[in-house]
Amino acid sequence: MKANNYQGALQKPLGSGFTAASTSTEVIKGIDLTGKIAVVTGGNTGIGLETTKTLALAGATVIVLARNMEKAKANLEDITNVEIEEVDMMSPSSIDTFAEKFISSGRPLHLLINNAGIMWVPLQRDGRGIESQLATNYLGQFHLTARLWTALKQANGARVVNVSSLGHHNSEFNFEDPNFENRTYETLQAYGQSKTASNLFAMELDNRAKDFNVRAYSLHPGSIGGTELGRNADPEQFKKLGFLDEDGNIRPEVLAALKTIPQGAATTVFTATSPLLNTIGGVYLEDNDIAELLPTDPSVQTNAKLHQSGVQQYSLDENSAIRLWNLSEEMTGVKFNIN
């Protein structure tokens, strides 16, 4: 039987030698990506931009998918080896247009970095009626990966990297009401559900795709200062979570725990390029290593601190992963046949 990560069977740290403080430049040192092609969604801001820079400097041709072309051109103008394509991850036709263009070019795809994401948004729905965080943070990943499958297979050694989050601790996937049609909308619960879905997808994709030399992973980049992810947040939410004091100032202990953008991009770059992962896939990583699996009983002590690190078992559940794959095909109208 070939190993898979169902129920977190492979969630054991490797001892990579890197830490939470390691930067993207440090983890890619000595790795040459000349001749490799990468797609990075949302690769023009925050940790996506840092990921793009790092991969391009290592020799890869990086195709950045961005919603705002003007902003992307401005942010990427000094980086060589970069192509920019206008894609909105909430728009199925936008994803299809790019994928058709890429597939028709005949190029292989060595790295697909599903980085784009939104957070803290009020209840919004896309044109299909799908809740916006689920649509952007997960279903867009599923749709894009499915459409680019032949190019990934053609690479004969590709990796798909889903930038997930510790936020998956906020919620399991709700199969009964994924779009908050019959329950009260809570933005962090919706975010958590979308990230749990991203973990389940990476695990199931790896299990189905590894025979074609395509491996898949999910990861938590860390809590990072200076990104745009919190631009829609209500300061009152940050106060409730203990990030801000009563005067609206960030608490010193919170500030001290934040990663820089180069540190935040490191786990993405490590996951995409490290030879330590050549024979393992379907795992969830954090701080440049495979994360620890959390026990279902929170009273059981582990090195990982619940709600601060580690991966929840429900986001690596076999039945949920298979069920989600089928539901994703239904919700997107995209059949993802791996053959």
Asked whether residue 257 is domain-assigned, the answer is no
pLDDT above 80 (res 257): no
Does any domain span residue 251?
no
Q: Is residue 239 part of a domain?
A: no
The string of DSSP codes covering 62-125 is EEEEES-HHHHHHHHTT-SSEEEEE--TT-HHHHHHHHHHHHHHT----EEEE-----SPPS-B
In a domain, 339, yes or no: no
Domain range for residue 155?
6-224+264-332
The confidence score (pLDDT) of residue 305 equals 78
Instruction: Name the CA dihedral angle for 159, 38, 54, 312, rounded to a multiple of 10 degrees.
Output: -40
CATH number for 321: 3.40.50.720
Mean pLDDT of the chain: 93
Confidence band for 267, pLDDT divided at 50, 70 and 90:
very high
Amino acid at the residue 194? S
pLDDT band at 297 (very low <50, low <70, confident <90, very high): confident
Q: Is residue 242 part of a domain?
A: no
- Residue pLDDT, tens place only, 83-92: 999 999 999 9
Mean pLDDT along residues 37-50 = 98
Q: Decide: 160 and 217 in contact? Cβ < 8 Å.
A: yes
Write the pLDDT tens digit of every residue in 81-115.
999 999 999 999 999 999 999 999 999 999 999 99
Could you give the CA distance from residue 98 to residue 191 in angstroms, rounded to a whole number? 26
Residue from 177, 333, 203 nearest 281 by CA: 203
At 148-202, the pLDDT tens digits run: 999 999 999 999 999 999 999 999 999 999 999 999 999 999 999 999 999 999 9
Q: How far apart are CA 158 and CA 149, in angstroms?
A: 10
Q: Give CA separation, 124 vs 133, 190, 232, 269, 329, in Å.
A: 8, 11, 13, 31, 21
Residue type, position 84, single letter: I
Active site residues: 191
Whole-angstrom Cα distance, residue 330 to residue 52?
32
Look at residue 335 and tell me whether its pLDDT is greater than 50: yes
pLDDT for the residue 1: 44
**Cβ proximity of 20 and 13 under 8 Å:** no
Whether residue 111 lies inside any domain: the answer is yes
* Number of folded domains that form the chain: 1
In a domain? residue 55: yes
